[in-house]
Amino acid sequence: MKIALGSDHAGFLYKEALKKMLLAQGHEIIDCGTDSLEVTNYPKYIIAAAQKVASGECERAIVLGGSGNGEAIAANKVPGIRCALAWNEETARLSRAHNNANVLSLGERMLSLETAQELVALWLKTPFEFGRHERRLEELARYEQQKKL
């Protein structure tokens, strides 16, 4: 799978660790930055990663910051993105199964690295369930295109 990664300084260490893990699993990675622990603003890195998914260049993206909240907000500004903030297995699984999330947001200050790795693995393997969930996503897509439900 082709996956974009993006983080600010507060998510940098986990981004680097997840990149190694994903490459070892055979995924193709596009790293949208940042490339150090130097304090920086997250929007440009997160939006760049989300745009890779929206354009079809990548199938999914994983974005990271201190809490993951700002990163989820930034990613969701990109049309076509359904970014979910996950903090445990259930939130990661449901973000895919019910919401077909194409971007996952994680907070480095909120999770152990081991938990973050487990959530990423679960999120990547969980399929979308379609059914009743599909019509809800269609409503969101219509709103995004026409700004009305």
Closest CA to 140 of 103, 105, 99: 99
The one catalytic residue among 27, 98, 118, 129: 98
| CA contacts within 13 A on the Cβ side of 5 | 24
Query: How many whole angstroms separate alpha carbon 114 and alpha carbon 87?
Result: 12
The answer to whether 71 is a known catalytic residue is: yes
**Can 9 be counted among the known catalytic residues?**
no
Average model confidence (pLDDT) across the chain = 96
Report which DSSP code applies to 101.
Answer: -
Average pLDDT over residues 14-36: 98
- Determine the Cα–Cα distance for residues 59 and 54; give it in Å rounded to an integer: 9
The closest alpha carbon to 17, from 103, 96, 121, 123, belongs to 121
Between the two ends of the chain, the Cα-to-Cα distance in Å is 33
Domain 2-146: top CATH class:
alpha beta
**Where in the chain are the domains?**
2-146
pLDDT at 74: 98
pLDDT of residue 133: 85
pLDDT digits (tens, 9 = 90+) for 41-87: 999 999 999 999 999 999 999 999 999 999 999 999 999 999 999 99
